[in-house]
């Protein structure tokens, strides 16, 4: 083997080893609404790179006039962040402005505020800002959110509209979400507090190849690049797993069907516990 060939082989091994150690994407810190757990927010700032890391806040879901001041004070005064930009995105035109795209590109932490998740999708879908945020996430930036800012993270996004008094087909309105979560995971928020089991179970049984996670208020799930999440905060997260279960249907009114299931697994994950999304089981906390 020539010297040049040996060097090439060594470089190839080094590159492969580096790729194996480098996360394919960043972390997620998803809060179920209500109070933001201090431990979750501190971890979000740390994952972004510390107090001097560039953080962008996307308050698009909210129509409150003081949202910019609220999030600026939250990160700068409560958590000591020195580089915080609140992006004034209300429309796709806003999300195409060069200065907004530039801020998104340099972000190491991205936080989506609460309100109405449909506003987030309507303003960001198909824009260069969303492309920049996805690039930042792939390069290790942490993405967080609360309430609507959590709901928008799954590829199948619950809009908040529908009939949630039943467990049946066509009862939950959905849109395509941002998709920062695994493609086979659907997330919901304010879960136990607002008793949202009907809508999440209905949607899941129409997509039985998915996993569903409901995050309660005052609680966050810290989703790591290794496909595990840890619960942080005062309450818990519920996980519904229909893999291998038998889904049944019966006629209902207006062309809909009642949904039944046999053998679906349900997990209630407590603060400090760790759940593996890919393996679909509770695992020992390793950190």
Q: Is the pLDDT of residue 15 over 90?
A: no
Give domain limits for the chain: 22-282
The highest-level CATH class for domain 22-282 is alpha beta
What integer is the mean pLDDT of 170-199? 97
Mean pLDDT of the chain: 92
Q: What is the DSSP letter of 95?
A: G
State pLDDT tens for residues 192-223: 999 999 999 999 999 999 999 999 999 999 99
Alpha carbon separation from 55 to 111, 136, 180 (Å, rounded): 8, 11, 17
> How far apart, in whole angstroms, are the C-alpha atoms of residue 83 and residue 99?
15
Q: What pLDDT sits at residue 284?
A: 75
Model confidence band, residue 278 (pLDDT cutoffs 50, 70, 90): very high
Q: Is the pLDDT of residue 68 over 50?
A: yes
Sign of the torsion formed by the C-alpha atoms of 278, 178, 235 and 73: positive
Model confidence band, residue 11 (pLDDT cutoffs 50, 70, 90): very low
> How far apart, in whole angstroms, are the C-alpha atoms of residue 71 and residue 32?
17
State pLDDT tens for residues 217-236: 999 999 999 999 999 999 99
Model confidence band, residue 285 (pLDDT cutoffs 50, 70, 90): low
Q: Is the pLDDT of residue 24 over 90?
A: no
Strand locations in 98-245 (E): 109-112, 142-146, 156-162, 172-176, 185-189, 211-215, 219-223, 228-233, 237-241
> How far apart, in whole angstroms, are the C-alpha atoms of residue 83 and residue 103?
11
Q: Is the pLDDT of residue 286 over 80?
A: no
Q: In a 10 Å sphere around its CB, with 0-12 CB exposed, 13-18 middle and 19+ buried, how is residue 170 labelled?
A: middle
What integer is the mean pLDDT of 133-159? 98
State pLDDT tens for residues 235-266: 999 999 999 999 999 999 989 999 999 999 99
Q: Which residue has the higher pLDDT, 10 or 52?
A: 52
Alpha carbon separation from 30 to 113, 164, 229, 231, 237 (Å, rounded): 11, 23, 10, 10, 11
Q: What pLDDT sits at residue 206?
A: 98
């Amino acid at each position: 083997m020539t010297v040049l060939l040996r060097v090439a082989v060594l470089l190839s091994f080094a590159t492969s080893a580096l790729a194996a150690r480098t996360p394919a994407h960043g972390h997620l810190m998803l809060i179920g609404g209500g109070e933001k757990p201090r431990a979750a927010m501190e971890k979000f700032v740390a994952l972004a790179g510390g107090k001097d890391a560039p953080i962008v806040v996307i308050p698009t879901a909210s129509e409150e006039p003081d949202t910019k001041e609220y999030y600026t004070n939250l990160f700068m005064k409560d958590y000591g962040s020195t580089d915080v930009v609140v992006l004034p995105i209300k429309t796709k035109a806003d999300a195409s402005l060069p200065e907004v795209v530039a801020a998104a590109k340099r972000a190491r932490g991205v936080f989506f505020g609460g309100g109405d998740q449909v506003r987030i999708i309507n303003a960001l879908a198909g824009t260069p800002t969303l492309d920049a945020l996805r690039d930042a996430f792939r390069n290790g930036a942490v993405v967080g959110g609360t309430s609507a800012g959590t709901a928008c993270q799954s590829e199948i996004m619950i809009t908040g509209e529908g009939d949630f008094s039943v467990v049946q087909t066509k009862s939950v309105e959905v849109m395509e979400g941002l998709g920062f979560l695994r493609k086979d995971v659907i997330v919901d928020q304010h879960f136990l507090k607002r008793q949202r089991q009907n809508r999440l179970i209905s949607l899941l049984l129409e997509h039985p190849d998915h996993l569903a996670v409901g995050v309660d208020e005052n609680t966050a799930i810290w989703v790591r690049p290794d496909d595990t999440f840890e619960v942080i905060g005062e309450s818990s997260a519920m996980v519904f797993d229909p893999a291998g279960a038998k889904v049944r249907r019966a006629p209902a009114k207006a062309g809909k069907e009642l949904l039944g299931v046999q053998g679906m697994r349900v997990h209630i994950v407590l603060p400090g516990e760790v759940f593996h999304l890919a393996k679909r089981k509770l695992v020992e906390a390793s950190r």
